[in-house]
Amino acid sequence: MNFTQTLKKNYEFQRLYSRGRSAVTPFLVVYARKTKRRENRVGFTVSNKLGKAVVRNRVRRRLREIYRLHEAEFARGVELVVVARARAVGARYAQLERAMLSACAKLGALEGQKGEGT
């Protein structure tokens, strides 16, 4: 990922949950917040409730790949946290891709898009 760093610390996720805006789809929830940095920061959350490690890692890999393939479409200086919901486990790749991009578009995280209230 060219201009992206990953969120790793719990306080970074908590800050985004409390101060960021969110968009909900049946498959995932995306929290976003604009920053003054040049690079994006992204984190992925898949709960233990969704299944065992194999299942969770498959969902996480799919979400990461969706972000990687569409990285150039994201505006610079955005922090994102993508939280997988239970329906993401049985979803096809195309459904996850469509859900993630539409949620990010609602938040104005995509280049050339204006989100609600932004």
Instruction: Identify the CA nearest to 107 among candidates 39, 37, 32.
Output: 32
pLDDT at residue number 111: 85
Residues 12, 17, 20, 23, Cα dihedral to 10°: 130
User: CATH for 4-107?
Assistant: 3.30.230.10
Residue 112 has pLDDT above 90, yes or no: no
pTM (2 decimals)? 0.90
Residue 117 has pLDDT above 90, yes or no: no
- Residue written as token pair 């940095």: 37
Query: pLDDT per residue over 11-68, tens digit each?
Result: 999 999 999 999 999 999 999 999 999 899 999 999 999 999 999 999 999 999 999 9
